[in-house]
């Protein structure tokens, strides 16, 4: 019997495979495509996933050759620009420009290096679960697994077969998106002459997007009311849509790829049904804002270490349930602000212009600008603090240290082995107990935890270090990078709550 089978080898499934293998879980990925996709469905990553890539030692590898990697000087909220460069300090939003085919290739390489088995051309047809495991059947295979994770996108068969609802709404507009090689006539010059600009253009018939992310290639998007084409979009259909919305015949150039989508706003009514879990687009779809990959990939880091602890007999009661209680509120939170962005982008006429102009004035102030940056980054997320049945729905208890439940800051540290960072300590995806100056840590915490049961536990890395202005005497950091506890008061209880001693 397989330990964990992942359905879908998109970015979410491949990231989860790597995270599970880091935790020592035997992992198989089933992908219906015979070959990896080559369409740039996504053009980059934004938010805390970039910090997680740094934690895993992958950021330099993924950033190589990227046209942009770092703190974003600006970003659109809907179609209202956020000018982070005007904050006078570090931008709250991180971006990494990387197209989806390269992202998938790197994640696939990573998962394979760690020992995950990836089987292409294996289309799931049905699944059924019982008390012992899950049976998976396809045209040419039949597998048994202890657990299954559906990373198979918005039309998830896993979600459907598990009987998990997917409430929400479907947009009444169609989005045509195309990447084109630069034509002989400069499309942006022609657009400017006709009163169009780079970015989103609002007209009485819809919206037109004109942008470029790399030299020699430009991106054109068209949104208008209607239904998605029944077959693949043709260049003639795309050009006609541009003409209807803008009133201009633009020199599009040669298409690299063309696609059509209809936005949806949905969150699964639960993330788990017995031995079946959901992650990524199978669990949530957002109508705007480029947040889907950030949320989906962060889902995987949350689920992997918990599933591994359960499989190894090291999970405290209720730990697997905290995947939903922590990550589903994040999706609901993200859906709210992406719905707001979609409305800002969609609203036309004088009403739309007035609303965007007013919000543009408000977003020029530091406090709302920083708040929106944190929203897009995901740094406003704060988890509850106990893996119990009454877990606090993503909100930490009043009176706890401000870092508890938040993503750990990347502190510059000095240890007896030399300089390091928090991110470097997180490479193996283990628990880290970071002593930043409390001299009696061993007596206070580890001694009170029956050290004999935790000594030699390879899940826990105890590090004594110094840093400038330490935020707390002690940080207990989870494998996914979030602080389970900060400070010494209550630390022994936090450790016994999260770290069930290894079985004899």
Q: What is the pLDDT of residue 438?
A: 61
Q: Is the pLDDT of residue 390 over 70?
A: no
Q: Please report the pLDDT score of residue 261 as a whole number.
A: 86
Decide if pLDDT at 246 tops 90: yes
CB 84 within 8 A of CB 72: yes
Picking from 13-27, 254-268, 385-399, which range would have the lowest pLDDT averaged per residue? 385-399
67: left (phi > 0), else alpha (psi -120 to 50), else beta? alpha
The predicted structure's pLDDT at residue 457: 60
Q: Are 436 and 467 spatial neighbours (Cβ–Cβ below 8 Å)?
A: yes
Q: 57 pLDDT exceeds 60?
A: yes
Task: Work out the percent of the chain whose per-residue pLDDT is above 90.
Answer: 65
Helices (H), 23-174: 49-55, 59-63, 100-113, 157-162
- The whole-number average pLDDT for the span 426-441 is 83
Can you tell me the mean pLDDT for 172-198?
A: 86
pLDDT of residue 198: 87
CA dist 296 to 60, 75, 98, 102, Å?
Answer: 21, 20, 16, 17
Reduced to 3 states, what is the DSSP secondary structure of residue 57?
A: coil
Query: Mind listing the domains of the chain with CATH numbers?
Result: 2-168+266-377 (3.50.50.60), 172-262 (3.30.70.2450), 412-498 (3.40.30.120)
Strand pairing partners for 4? Answer: 27, 147
Question: Angle 104-277-375 (CA atoms, 0-180°, nearest 5)?
Answer: 65
Report residue 449's pLDDT band, with 50, 70 and 90 as the boundaries: very low
Task: State the pLDDT at residue 485.
Answer: 92
Arithmetic mean of pLDDT, 208-223: 87
């Amino acid at each position: 019997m397989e330990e964990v089978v992942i359905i879908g080898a998109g970015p979410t499934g491949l990231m989860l495979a790597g995270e599970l293998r880091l935790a020592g879980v035997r992992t198989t990925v089933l992908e219906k495509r015979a070959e990896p996709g080559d369409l740039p469905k996504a053009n980059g990553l934004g938010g805390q996933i970039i910090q997680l890539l740094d934690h895993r030692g992958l950021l330099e590898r993924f950033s190589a050759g990227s046209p942009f990697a770092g703190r974003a000087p600006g970003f659109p909220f809907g179609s209202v620009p956020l000018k982070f460069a005007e904050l006078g300090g570090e931008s709250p939003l991180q971006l990494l420009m990387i197209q989806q085919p390269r992202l998938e290739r790197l994640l696939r390489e990573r998962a394979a290096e760690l020992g995950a088995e990836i089987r292409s051309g294996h289309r799931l047809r049905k699944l059924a679960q019982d008390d012992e495991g899950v049976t998976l059947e396809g045209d040419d295979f039949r597998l048994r697994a202890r657990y299954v994770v559906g990373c198979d996108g918005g039309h998830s068969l896993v979600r459907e077969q598990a009987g998990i609802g997917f409430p929400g709404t479907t947009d009444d507009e169609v989005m045509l998106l195309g990447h084109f090689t630069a034509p002989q006539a400069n499309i942006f010059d022609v657009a400017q002459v006709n009163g169009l600009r780079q970015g989103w253009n609002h007209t009485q018939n819809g919206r037109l997007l004109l942008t470029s992310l790399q030299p020699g290639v430009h991106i054109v998007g068209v949104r208008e009311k209607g239904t998605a084409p029944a077959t693949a979009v043709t260049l003639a259909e795309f050009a006609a849509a541009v003409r209807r919305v803008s009133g201009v015949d633009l020199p599009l150039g040669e298409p690299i790829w063309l696609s059509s989508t209809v936005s949806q706003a949905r969150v699964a009514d639960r993330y788990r049904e017995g031995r079946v879990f959901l992650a990524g687009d199978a669990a949530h779809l957002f109508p705007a804002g480029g947040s889907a990959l950030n949320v989906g990939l962060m889902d995987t880091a949350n689920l992997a270490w918990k599933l591994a602890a359960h499989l190894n007999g090291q999970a405290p009661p209720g730990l697997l349930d905290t995947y939903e209680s922590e990550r589903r509120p994040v999706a609901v939170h993200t859906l709210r602000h992406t719905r707001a962005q979609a409305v800002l982008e969609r609203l036309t006429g004088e009403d739309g212009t007035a609303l965007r102009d007013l919000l543009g004035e408000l977003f020029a102030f530091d406090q709302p600008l920083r708040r929106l940056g944190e929203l897009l980054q995901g740094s406003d997320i704060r988890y509850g603090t106990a893996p119990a049945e009454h877990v606090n729905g993503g909100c930490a208890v009043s009176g706890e240290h401000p870092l508890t439940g938040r993503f750990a800051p990347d502190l510059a540290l000095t240890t007896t082995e030399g300089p390091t960072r928090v991110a470097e300590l997180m490479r193996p995806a283990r628990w880290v107990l970071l002593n930043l100056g409390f001299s009696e840590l061993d007596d206070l915490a580890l001694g009170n935890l029956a050290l004999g049961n935790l000594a030699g536990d390879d899940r826990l890395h105890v590090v004594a270090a110094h840093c400038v202005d330490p935020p707390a005497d002690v940080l207990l950091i989870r494998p996914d990078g979030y602080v389970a506890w900060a400070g010494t008061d209550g630390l022994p209880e936090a450790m016994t709550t999260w770290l069930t001693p290894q079985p004899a």
